């Protein structure tokens, strides 16, 4: 598959050298099970690249489970990730699978991983290293075969230095790192992206496609 075919298949819009270099790395690492850490500001498309990696892997016909670590309250994050046994805590009225188990033989995308509490980081590290985990309230280990992709808009090395993130987990995650530059640093992609979103907006609303003027693009 060529670079342009890969971009088209995965809705990666742009022609800048920065974007093309990034896509080339994704094409190289996607077929393996190597762990990938994606850096980028909010809105740059980290989930799009995570999905592209999954789609180009041997796990493409298995689930891609996305978890926004910053959107789940700390008190229930471990239950969401690892699941729980009935009666293991107040409100646990039945057995429940967690995201790790749901992603078995597929890919688990841990978005905004810098927001994950240190106590949860320990358990995630063990699951990555041992390919097994224990449900909350459980007594036996559950084996999982999962490929891990993580993303953050923070500098994880700085988070490690500030004791907000575990160094051992950081090194486990950063086997391959992708840095997605913000749009202001790849201005050559603005016109293509604007055209893409305008076309889709017009199509979804059953209206003629507006024409972008030069003034609008450079304002």
Check which CATH number belongs to the domain holding 145 and give it. 3.40.50.300
Distance between CA atoms of residues 32 and 56, nearest Å: 9
Q: Which two tokens stand for residue 148?
A: 């891990």
Please state the rounded mean pLDDT for residues 166-173. 98
Backbone phi, psi, residue 26, to 5°: -60, -45
In this structure, are residues 192 and 174 in contact, taking their beta carbons and an 8 Å threshold?
no
pLDDT of 87 above 60:
no
Number of domains in the chain: 2
Q: What is the mean pLDDT of residues 186-201?
A: 71
151 and 201 assigned to the same domain: no
Query: Quick one: 68 and 146 in the same domain?
Result: yes
Structural domain span for residue 208: 186-219
**Which one, of 77, 84, 59, 80, lies nearest residue 142 by Cα?**
84
pLDDT band at 75; cut points 50, 70, 90: confident
pLDDT tens per residue across span 139-152: 789 999 999 999 99
For range 81-95, the mean pLDDT: 68
Residue 102 and residue 175 in one domain = yes
Asked if 199 and 97 sit in the same domain, the reply is no
Shared domain check, 163 and 103: yes
Please check whether residues 113 and 181 belong to one and the same domain.
yes
Let me know: does 66 contact 36? Beta carbons within 8 Å: no
Q: What percent of the chain has pLDDT over 70?
A: 86
Residue with tokens 């003034």: 215
Check residue 168 and report its DSSP letter: H
DSSP label at 120? H
């Amino acid at each position: 598959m060529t670079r342009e075919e890969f971009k088209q298949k995965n809705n990666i819009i742009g022609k800048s050298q920065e974007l093309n270099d990034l896509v080339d790395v994704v094409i190289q690492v996607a077929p393996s099970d190597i762990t990938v850490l994606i850096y980028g500001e909010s809105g740059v498309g980290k989930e799009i690249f995570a999905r592209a990696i999954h789609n180009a892997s041997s796990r493409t016909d298995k689930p891609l489970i996305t978890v926004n670590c910053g959107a789940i309250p700390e008190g229930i994050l471990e239950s969401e990730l690892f699941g729980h046994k009935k009666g293991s805590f107040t409100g646990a009225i039945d057995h429940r699978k967690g995201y790790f188990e749901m992603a078995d033989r597929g890919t688990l995308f841990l978005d905004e991983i810098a927001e994950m509490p240190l106590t949860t980081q320990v358990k995630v590290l063990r699951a990555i290293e041992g390919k097994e985990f224990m449900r909350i309230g459980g007594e036996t280990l559950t084996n999982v075969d999962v490929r891990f992709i993580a993303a953050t808009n923070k500098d994880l090395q700085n988070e490690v230095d500030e004791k907000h993130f575990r160094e051992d987990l950081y090194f486990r995650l950063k086997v391959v790192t992708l840095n997605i530059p913000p749009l202001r640093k790849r201005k050559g992609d603005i016109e293509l992206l604007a055209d893409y979103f305008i076309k889709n907006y017009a199509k979804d609303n059953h209206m003629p496609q507006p024409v972008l003027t030069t003034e609008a693009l450079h304002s």
